[in-house]
Structures are given as C-alpha cells and as structure tokens.
Amino acid sequence: MPQPPALPPPIERALVLARNHATHTPPNPSVGCVITAPDGTVLGEGHTQPTGGPHAEVMALRDAASRGHDTHGATAWVTLEPCSHVGRTGPCCEALVTAGIARVVASVGDPNPRVAGRGFQRLRQAGVEVEIGPGAEAARELNLGFFSRMVRGMPWVRMKIAASLDGTTALSNGTSQWITSEAARRDGHGWRARAGAVLTGIGTVLEDDPMLDVRLVETTRQPLLVVVDSRLELPPGARLLQPGRAVLVYTASDDAARRAALEAQGATVVSRPGVGGKVDLAAMLRDLAQREVNELHVEAGHKLNGSLVRDGLVDEFLVYLAPRLLGAGRGMAAFGPLSELGAGIGLSFLSAEPVGPDLRIVARVAGRDA
Ligand code: AOF
Ligand code: ZN
C-alpha cells in the first residue's frame, strides 16, 4: 500500500494541539497553530481556547512573545484558515500581520460564511505568502461537526450503541444498562464530552431516568441535553433536569400546563410537530445547528434510533461490542424494517479497537464525509 505523503512536522504538531483540546472549544472549532523561524525552530504554539477566549493563532503569537522570540519573517502553521472577522474575539489575520508573519500554511479554508476565504485574501493583501492544503483531511475530520453545521446546516449525528456480540442492545426485562464494561462507558463519556449536545428519547428517560452528563472523564463544559418527547411526558422530577443544566425538550404537543411545569424546572421546550403527532426530527436537527450544535451524540432506545436511521439522519455509529452473547433476538435489527431501502444502509468501518474487554467500532454511513 502506498503511504500518504508525510505532513510537515509543524502541521502534525498543530493537529495534535487541536486534537488534544477538542472537548473545550465547541461551538468554536478546535484549531492548532505552530510558529516557526525561517530555520525551522519552533517559536510558539497555541490552540483555540474555550468559546469567547483567544483563537489558536493569538495564543501561538503570545507564546512566542512570552518566550522572547521575534516573529518577524516567521511562518504560521495553522489547521484552519485564520479568521478575518470580529466575532467573540478579534481577527487572527490582523494579529498575524501585525506580528510580522511572512508565510501562513493552513490545512483548510474556514467554511464559516463570515470568513470563507476572506482570511486568506486579507493575508495575501498584506503581502503574506499563503499555502493551503497540508493536513486538510485530518483537519476536516477533527472538526467534522463544525464543517457539517457550516456546510449542511445540520449537526454531525453520531449514534452510540452498546451491544453484545450478537447485536443485542437491550433486554426485554430492562436490564440493559451495563452490557459493556466500565472502560467502554468511560470511553463513551469521552465522546459525549466533545459533543455539543447529547440526544435521547422520552422512552429512555422513562425507563432508565438517566443523567446523560459527562462524569467519567474530566471536562470543562457539559454538552446541552436534548430530549425528544412528542407528548411532553418528561416528568418534572426526572434526574436529568438538574438546576442550572441546559436541557432542550422537542415536542409535538401543545399542552401548556406540561410545558410550564418543565420550564419551571429550567428546561426549554421547543415545538417541532411532524407527521403522526411525532417530532419532526430533521427540523429538530436544523434547529440544533442554529443553536450552534456541531456534533450531536445520540444515546437513545430502539424507537428513536430507528426513526433517525430510517430518516437518513445518522452520519456515524459508535458501537461498543461486549464479548458476550445475549441471544435475545432483538438488538440492532430492531432499527428496522429497513427493507424499503433495498440493500439496507451501507457503512464503512473507520476503526475497530479494543477498549478494555470490549470492542469499539466507528462506522460511517456511506457517502457521509467529514
Ligand atoms: C481562527 N482560529 O482557533 C478558531 C477559529 O466568535 P469567535 O471570535 O470566537 O469566532 C468564532 C469563529 O472563528 C468560528 O465560527 C470559526 O469560523 C473561527 N474559528 N478561527 O482563526 C481559531 N477556532
Ligand atoms: Zn481567529
């Protein structure tokens, strides 16, 4: 197999910086930046700070300054086009130009319509040499939720499933919570932590009364919690309604009293009626994108999972397989029937790795690219 060409080391390093801090930045993309002298010496490094804080480029320039380095004539290696707009922070282009950066190597353009090429344009105008492309695939993959939101107006939808080797996801007696190991659950919390929101259905809430927060790994932010609850059956005493926690409830019901009871518990109720008294799931996803959700982490039961799959709204599956046979004959097949889709839904396996005693498979729906 031919190996892909090696990336320039500063871009590799910038990608690592971005990857290591990806849970802190949503809804902002996680970006890394390395500044090098003409002889290749690293002068400074930075990564995007939590939303509202400085971007990667500004952090790298500050790092170089704090080490007493002069950045005139230096190269900035960055995993995303430097911004040209004033958002929650100032434009990185201006900071780079002011610091005398002579060359910018960026992995990909920023799809944010407020930037979208204007960053590169501004840099070139100021006489900065611009090169685009090294590490593009990895940079897009790293922020696939941000790209999805900007390009499609939808979050990247990743469905987490824990199953036995024979694909059983839940037992009829409800003892479904611990099919996989502690290690797999902790790993799952790592994926929750990077998501903008965690989605579940009313069935799961009524059955398990789950918290669905990030507990088993360290995090600086909790994802938004989203509940699909067509008839507003969420009990105001549900454990997930913690004081101060951001919870969004999507419903097709116009029951004012139930709505008021949930709002009194701090939840936000959003009406998105679809056909048959159900929530319009596609409309819900568009709304979540408008609320700046990049990655949506789904942990739900058969019904909601099945609806999302059948409606073609799932981009990726995160499956933990336990080395156990449960033989309950339901499992992931309960997403069906998919027969109207002919050959079913084609997937490609991105990775398969042991996590403790279990196996973690990431599978992407054919045709969905970061
Ligand atoms: C960069 N470097 O490290 C990141 C960028 O509201 P703001 O000011 O934080 O701007 C957010 C937007 O900036 C975000 O939507 C994306 O277009 C870009 N992110 N840009 O130059 C960075 N994270
Ligand atoms: Zn910026």
Place of tokens 């941000």: 146
Other Cβ atoms closer than 10 A to 165: 13
Chain mean position to CA 20? 14
DSSP E strands: which ranges in 233-337? Answer: 247-251, 268-271, 295-298, 316-322
Per-residue confidence (pLDDT) for residue 326, from 0 to 100: 83
- Rounded to the nearest whole angstrom, what is the distance from the C-alpha of residue 142 to the centroid of ligand 1? 15
Edge to edge, the sheet with strand 358-365 lists 268-271, 247-251, 224-228, 197-201, 295-298, 156-164, 316-322, 358-365, 347-355
Mutating to test ligand 1, I would choose from 83, 114, 147, 291 the residue with most ligand atoms within 8 A of its C-beta, which is 83
Q: Is the pLDDT of residue 37 over 90?
A: yes
Contact 87, 118 (CB under 8 A): no
Residue minimizing CA distance to atom 17 of ligand 1:
112
> How do residues 265-296 score in pLDDT, each as one tens digit?
999 999 999 999 999 999 999 999 999 999 99
What separation in Å is there between the alpha carbon of 39 and the centre of ligand 2?
A: 26
Average pLDDT over residues 255-268: 96
Determine the Cα–Cα distance for residues 368 and 148; give it in Å rounded to an integer. 10
Q: Among 19, 23, 28, 107, which residue has the most ligand 1 atoms within 8 Å of its CB, making it the best to mutate?
A: 28
Atom of ligand 1 nearest to the CA of 48: 3
Q: Whose CA is nearest to atom 2 of ligand 1?
A: 55
> If pLDDT is split at 50, 70 and 90, which confidence band does 85 have?
confident
Residue 173 pLDDT > 60:
no
Residue with the larger pLDDT of the pair 247 and 51: 247
Asked if pLDDT for residue 172 goes beyond 80, the answer is: no
Residues having CB within 6 Å of any atom of ligand 1: 28-29, 31, 48, 55-57, 80, 82-83, 87-89, 92, 110, 112, 115
The answer to the question of whether 294 is labelled as a binding residue is no
Q: What is the pLDDT of residue 344?
A: 80
What are 110-142's pLDDT values in tens digits?
A: 999 988 899 999 999 999 999 999 999 999 999
| Closest ligand 1 atom to 47 CA | 3
Supply the pTM of this predicted model: 0.92
Judge whether 133 is annotated as a binding position.
no
pLDDT of residue 48 exceeding 70: yes
Residue 264: which H helix or E strand, with range? helix 256-264
Query: How large is the average pLDDT for residues 60-83?
Result: 97
Interface confidence, given as ipTM, is 0.92
Which residue lies with its CA nearest to atom 23 of ligand 1?
A: 29
Instruction: Calculate the alpha carbon distances from 136 to 15, 105, 277, 295, 312 in Å.
Output: 10, 11, 43, 19, 27
Residue 55 annotated as binding site: yes
Predicted confidence band of residue 334 (pLDDT cuts 50, 70, 90):
low
Nearest CA, atom 22, ligand 1 = 55
List, by residue number, the catalytic residues.
Answer: 57
Instruction: Looking at the CA of 110, name the nearest ligand.
Output: 1
pLDDT in tens, 24-36: 899 999 999 999 9
